Amino acid sequence: MSKRVRLRYAPSPTGHLHIGNTRTALFNYLFAKNQGGDFIIRIEDTDLKRNIAGGEESQLQNLKWLGIEWDESIDKEGAYGPYRQTERLDIYQKYTNELMQREVAYHCYCTEEELEAEREAQQERGETPHYSGKCRHLTQEQREAFKAEGRIPSIRFAVPKEKSYTFTDMVKGAISFDSNEMGDFVIVKKDGIPTYNYAVVIDDHLMEITHVLRGEEHISNTPKQLMIYEVFGWEAPQFGHMTLIVNENRKKLSKRDESVIQFIQQYADLGYLPEAMFNFICLLGWSPVGEEEIFTKEQFIEMFDPARLSKSPAVFDTQKLKWMNNQYMKKQELDRVVELCTPHLIKAGRISEAEVQTDWVRGLVALYHDQLSYGAEIVELSELFFKDDISYDEEAQAVLNEEQVPEVMQVFLSQVEAIEDFTPEAVQAAIKAVQKQTGQKGKKLFMPIRVATTGQTHGPDLPKAISLLGKQKVSARIQKVIG
């Protein structure tokens, strides 16, 4: 095996890029780059029935959006291709022929009904379901009889008996399996397509993969893969099995869990920043030295150490993600924030395509720049600018009921109507004039003006907000309060 460190991410094009798979890709990428090695993307597309149109493109596009770069894949040929499993079937066939000739693999003619009956009988006896191996020693006559029936065989690997398979996991330490607890497993399905546990070994060996970081649900696959490595006399890569990602209730993150947005494309569509998503996912089950949590991609590459992978489940904290994205949003140029927000304002019917580049829209987004957690939030945050009528909640109404309000509103209305160029500076000057004329200041002055014009007791910079509302709308709202 090559001394150069090589890691891979091997998605199936059966769906879009999920949070769990993203973490797998990310950690393999970081480890490879930290070691000055190669990161490969291999498409495992042999589950033909579950593959979806656009599945490959979706995976690659979302990885690129996050900032993950690869050295070899279907779109970046290297010396170890093809990088799509359905284009490697002749390679698998060569090794299958060898195993059959050596009689360490055999044809299994069992039907699905027979296998299911066998499993049910084992469960009734309190046994762990496994294949009994009844096709392992068929005579030539028995095989011919099954063929005559029209049965199409699968190919099973003959699991060695009385053997222990042990490996040192990069996360969990030493793990052992007893071969007697495993039945002979299928390596080639009846349609001639190799199974995952078989194809992945051949691919990883031929592509000289040195390390494999993956989810802990793959631990049970490891002994089967070690058997394949052993029978061919190949060196296995180092395995590391990452702990589960759980939701805030400490339940395993499943694709049916609606408490957490599951797919990277959804975050991109909501106006999250790829740098923030990269940062957040890096901390799902891995921790840096120290208390700092905000890092660049280059910093993560420099400090990534698999020894710091957590042994405890990683909690997907949605509030922390919003906080982290907000930290990144505040540092962005206004142009980029506007770009993230405007599609959502258009979709909500708040602005037209033609209005995107206007100073008014830029001013609106700028007003909430520091507050935004992600682009789509602009719709809810800026609602007050798109209402013809506003209603006042109990807290707001209490402000408007204060005794000084009629005078403050009357004077402010006259000041507003006198403004020719309705800028924030002009609005600020008008408020100052109200203070001078009425003697009111502080909350007694600003709070009634804020509530009357925006309907809110708390909000963004008041002169800027009033300026963006416009003279006509502000006048109408004040007149409504005055009655």
255 is catalytic: yes
| Contact between residue 41 and residue 73 where contact means Cβ atoms under 8 Å apart | yes
Look up residue 138 and give its amino acid: L
Residue 75: strand, helix, or coil: coil
| Contact between residue 378 and residue 344 where contact means Cβ atoms under 8 Å apart | yes
Q: Is beta strand 314-315 parallel, antiparallel or unpaired with respect to 245-246?
A: parallel
Matching residue, tokens 């206007």: 358
Look up residue 276 and give its amino acid: A
User: How would you class 320 by CB atoms within 10 Å of its CB: exposed for 0-12, middle for 13-18, buried for 19 or more?
Assistant: middle
Q: Which of 64, 134, 255, 441 is catalytic?
A: 255
What is the four-CA torsion angle of 168, 171, 176, 181, rounded to 10 degrees?
-140
Q: Is beta strand 211-215 parallel, antiparallel or unpaired with respect to 238-242?
A: parallel
Return the sign of the alpha-carbon dihedral for residues 135, 136, 141, 146: positive
What is the four-CA torsion angle of 225, 227, 232, 237, rounded to 10 degrees?
50
Look up residue 33 and give its amino acid: K
User: How would you class 36 by CB atoms within 10 Å of its CB: exposed for 0-12, middle for 13-18, buried for 19 or more?
Assistant: exposed
Written as six digits, the tokens of 417 are 């109507």
Matching residue, tokens 């400090």: 303
What is the 3-state composition of the chain as percent helix, strand, coil, each rounded to the nearest 5?
50, 10, 40
Q: Is beta strand 154-157 parallel, antiparallel or unpaired with respect to 164-169?
A: unpaired
Cα–Cα distance between 293 and 302 in angstroms, integer?
A: 15
Q: Which residues pair with 155 in a beta bridge?
A: 107, 188
- Can you list the pairs that 316-323 forms with residues at least 24 positions away whose Cβ atoms lie under 8 Å? 316/19, 316/245, 316/246, 316/247, 316/248, 316/253, 316/260, 316/284, 317/248, 318/248, 318/259, 318/260, 318/261, 320/280, 321/272, 321/276, 321/277, 321/280, 322/373, 322/374, 323/373
Residue 93: strand, helix, or coil: helix
Cα–Cα distance between 29 and 9 in angstroms, integer?
A: 8
Write out the catalytic residue numbers: 255
